[in-house]
Amino acid sequence: MAIVETLTKELAERLVGDLVRLDQLTLIQSGRDYCDESWAEQHFLMDLPGKWEHSVVALEPESGLLGFAIASRSPHSAVGVYLHRIATDPGIRGGALGRELLQALLDTAVRVDASRVTTSVSTSNAGGIRFFKRAGFRRLNGPEVTEIVHLRGMPSLVVGDCIQETTGHHKYLLGLDLD
């Protein structure tokens, strides 16, 4: 039975090897549907506003790390709490741990009165899009995407409702309004 808990900086320092391994495994299995490149230890340990309040991990006494959701908080209400990455161990996908991690993260956003939780997902990641839609997220429209790309200072183009990254990769921005 996995326990979902807040990823404090101290816990991240202890788990960083496992976080990097699960991230790499997810990239190997899901490819660019997941992300363009895996994160090194310094990415997981980098301080960002609200990161150690909003990020969560799932731990199991015997298997260790089974999932993570890494998030931070933007000063802009249009962005709110931004989920950078979420992944669960490939052996237990479909077992509701992703939903549990996401719910724990949403709870932290409600606790700080965030107006919204946002994330980006590859347009080709049909499973990931369905996962977020099942949790109540909606696809943000072109003007909303343009505003967020500008507020986050992303070096990306907006094409219709999509972000086109400098790598040419297309992503949707998804959001869940909390108020």
Ligand X SMILES: CC(C)(COP(=O)(O)OP(=O)(O)OC[C@H]1O[C@@H](n2cnc3c(N)ncnc32)[C@H](O)[C@@H]1OP(=O)(O)O)[C@@H](O)C(=O)NCCC(=O)NCCS
Which residues of this chain interact with ligand X, rule CB under 6 A?
26, 30, 33-34, 85-88, 93-99, 121, 125, 127-128, 130-131, 134
Q: Which is nearer to ligand X, 94 or 168 (CB)?
A: 94
Q: Which is nearer to ligand X, 10 or 169 (CB)?
A: 169
Closest distance of CB 38 from ligand X, Å: 12
Q: Which is nearer to ligand X, 5 or 113 (CB)?
A: 5
Q: Which is nearer to ligand X, 36 or 144 (CB)?
A: 36
Closest distance of CB 96 from ligand X, Å: 4
Q: Rounded distance, CA 80 to CA 82, Å?
A: 6
CB of 87 within 8 A of CB of 125? Answer: no
Which residue is it, tokens 């696809």?
139
The amino acid sitting at 25 is L
Give residues with Cβ within 8 angstroms of 164, minimum separation 6: 156, 157, 158, 170
CB of 171 within 8 A of CB of 121? Answer: yes
Closest distance of CB 40 from ligand X, Å: 17
